Structure 1
Amino acid sequence: MELTLIEISLLGILVLCLLVQLSFTLFVHLKLGLVKVEDIPADATEPLSVIICARNEARNLEQFLPAILEQDYPEFEVIVVNDRSWDDTKDVLKVFTDKYTHLKVVTVAEGTRFFAGKKFAVTMGIKAAANEWLVFTDADCFPSSDKWLLGMQPPANAAQEIVLGYSPYLKKRGLLNALIRFETFFTAVNYLAFALKGMPYMGVGRNMAYRKSLFFKNKGFAAHMHIPSGDDDLFVNAHANRHNTSIRIHPETHIWSEPKTSFGDYLKQKKRHFGAGKFYKDTHKFILSTQIIVQFLFYMALIAACFIKALWFPALGVFIFSILVRCFVYPKLLKRLNYAGLVWWFPLLDILLFIFLVFNGILSIFVKKVQWK
């Protein structure tokens, strides 16, 4: 059976998209699955400061802050920046400061004349830090073990100034939670694998660390202070490189976080992240855009081919081959990154994630306003 020019072109697009997809899978993401996980050092090399920004986080601080304060690390301080809270955050922190001498509270008062937002709060925390090595997390997070800080301490190589950690979301009931965890997984696989390849482009503020001198040497967030989000990924995007960045994925260095429980809240969260991505370096934007566009074209070509009698069988073969190859790589990564329960849902969640990313991208065009809390 001879194919028309349109049919040949459609099949060609499908195969080309498959090859690009698999190049990311086999030559970038697989590296994260093959890399040896470093053991956590038994001893600490130098003191460090943990920085947490909190706005109306009384309940989360009461629940999760003790796990940070009671880390098995010989010399560290925890700085909580109370950013204009109107709940019981102040009272909760007072109780903790009476009990833990290494807890320091910085208060950003309502009506502060400076830029109001998380970046200002983070800057205040960094200025208050007594130590050179800064470790960051959020108020609604807790470490997987008391060895977290030992794992996130300064690297032995003094030239490394940034450490990127990993932060999975807790398992809850429902499809939304599965989608949130799966999207978080793929985001982590991407930024951690690209960091291993020598092209770090982002980190997550729930679990990352860098040197205080790096922050002030580059004038903090001055270059993107006008952007509401990006205190973590935009800073890493601007200042990380193949020589000064490393990753930590040991299970005891993971930071668990409470996921959003409503679709609306999740959309707001992703809107903030999407907005920051527009200000990445051009090379990084090109790579990330290519990933999304190729996935979009792959599924569109696949759907179109299924309606053409001469193409539906080879198109189905291409799709099955794609799933088989990717099922060889990603289930192993799901287990490595604490999401083993999602392994059997991988093909379905892959499609749902694609639909969500397209929807979120379209929505971001029309919804412009974003804020921290």
Structure 2
Amino acid sequence: MAEVRVNLANHSYTIHIMAGIISQVGQLMKDMPLSRKALIVTDENVAPLYSGVLADSLAAAGFLPFVLVVPPGESSKSLATADKVFTQAISMGLDRKSPIIALGGGVIGDLSGFVAATYLRGVPFIQVPTTLLAQVDSSVGGKTAVNHPLGKNLIGAFYQPQLVVIDPLVLDTLPERELKAGLAEVVKYGVIADYDFFDYLIRHQEDILARRPDELIEVISRCCQIKAAVVAQDERETSLRMILNFGHTIGHAVEGVGGYSEYNHGEAVAIGMHGAALLSSSLHLCSTAASAAVKQLITGMGLPLTAPGYGTDELLGYLARDKKVVDSKVNWVLMQDVGRVTITQDVSEEHVRAVLSQLTENSNKH
């Protein structure tokens, strides 16, 4: 078993990574100070595959699990769906030591974490991520949120899980498009923090795309290590943690313009990373070779580079509402080189508009 420790003073926790570990979640929870009633939140795609083995694991360890199934997709990351989870928690009589367990991808993790953070002012939260994107990124670090019609992730809380359990074997049932979506976040970690890892991804991309367990465990472990190190230094995203948003500023705008349906999160982030790399080189923050390397790896992972047909003005409107905006200025995460980024507000609308034009006029979609 690979283990990664997230060190956060009085609410540190461990990420457990091992093939087949989903059947051992109950045992990992058994020695924690938890009540017996447990609410598992999952979606209609994941429930038939893994809710049974997870519920059985909890029951064998003495818990009384209930599985709540919500519709799949970004539309469930809403106050309306959160209300359904609250209602279930209240009707079950969950108390302040009753765990809420997220079984699914980033949407389920964000939704469940938001409910766990606010129900009874906070109950134990456990992550069992089933997508690569959630395993390497959204399940770690304690950012929870639901969307608003005017913007993504605008209503949320920083709330750390008490346990994260990652089983790479569940990725065998993940649709190809969702696997590639997770690889966008994987590429991000190489760009922001680790040239050697970026090089590893270039050399092993075929094995990763083929879902070879050894490569997946290596990738997941390294991403979790990078994120844990960043979060330990800046839990509430006041400075360093902003580097984790590389590609997300434009990416969230792409998602918004597409109604959160045309491009999934990873695809939008891939487009956003390409845009951030282009912006970095146009501002002479990084070399054109570094920008090209990012573009090449994004393409190699089977991800889109552009969002043809999208309106530049519409994208700019979403950028203005981004949650990273402070005093009407966007905090841009831009490249200095592969493995090194910087945060700046000193980016003119002219430069941004020029890059957005490149992203929306080309023909490479998905």
TM-score after normalising by structure 2: 0.34
Greater strand share, structure number: 2
Q: Which has the higher contact order (CA 8 A, sep 6+)?
A: 1
